[in-house]
Structure 1
Amino acid sequence: MTDAEKNVDALHKLILKCLEDGQAEEVVSIPLAGKSAIADHMVVASGRSTRQVAALAQRIESEVKQSLHRNVKIEGLASADWVLIDAHDVIVHLFRPEVRQFYGLEKMWAFDADGAPVRAEGAKP
């Protein structure tokens, strides 16, 4: 594993830990390496309220800065219905459950072992 891959793996694990510690719900990690140039991973999670969604985003921002000395870009924090966190190699989407269901990102970004798009579990056709 290269240093770059180790850095991406550390970032991914840190984000997943932040979500677990913040009691995010329905956390899904979608590998994008080799399938998209935007990032190596996309993480989608839900918070029960706008307050929890905002707290999760702020936790991720703080931990990434403190532990990995990297800045992230955050969009949507003011309304906290859907917050996008651009951590460079990992993109995080945090939703309130009904907003997540409406947009169905997992459905658009799910791939099978051969790299072909598939319907994500729980996503509506």
Structure 2
Amino acid sequence: MESLEDSKAEDIVSINIQGKSAMADYMVVASGRSHRHVGAVAEQLLRALKEAGHGTARVEGLSAADWVLIDAGDVIIHVFRPEVRDFYALEKMWQEPEEPSGTLH
């Protein structure tokens, strides 16, 4: 999270997916302003993970930098351009549904 904030990623959301998926315990979704910014955010995060001793994370999409997926084991990080993030709406799929405002009997 700190690396994402330091690289000026936008709209950073952390989602607890424990018990919902065997892939990871947490999913983090963030946006970059452009292809270049998405790539820079992802590259800085990869360096920070390596320096923190978390080994080498698996990376997909870095060359296009529309949507970069970083699989760091217990945490999966998605860095999107805003239009791509809106299109896929991952947060809506994985976040807890909101409680209804009224109760029907």
- TM-score, with length taken from structure 1: 0.75
Partner of 1:96: 81
- Which residues of 2 match residues 14-33 of structure 1 at below 5 A? 16-33=1-18
1:8-55 per-residue CA deviation (whole Å, 9 max, x = no partner) reads: xxxxxxxx0010000100000000112211101000000001111001
Partner of 1:62: 47
Runs of 4+ with >4 A deviation: none
Alpha-carbon distance change, 66 to 17 in structure 1, aligned in 2, over 3 angstroms: same
Aligned length in residues: 98
Q: Percent identity?
A: 57
Q: Which runs of 5+ in 1 are unaligned?
A: 1-15, 112-117, 120-125
- Provide the rounded CA distance (Å) in 2 between the counterparts of 1:68 and 1:49: 29
Partner of 1:4: none
Q: Of the candidates 61, 66, 83, which is equivalent to residue 76 of structure 1?
A: 61
SS at 1:68 equivalent: coil
Q: Which runs of 5+ in 2 are unaligned?
A: 99-105
Over the aligned positions, Cα root-mean-square deviation in angstroms equals: 1.0
- TM-score, with length taken from structure 2: 0.89
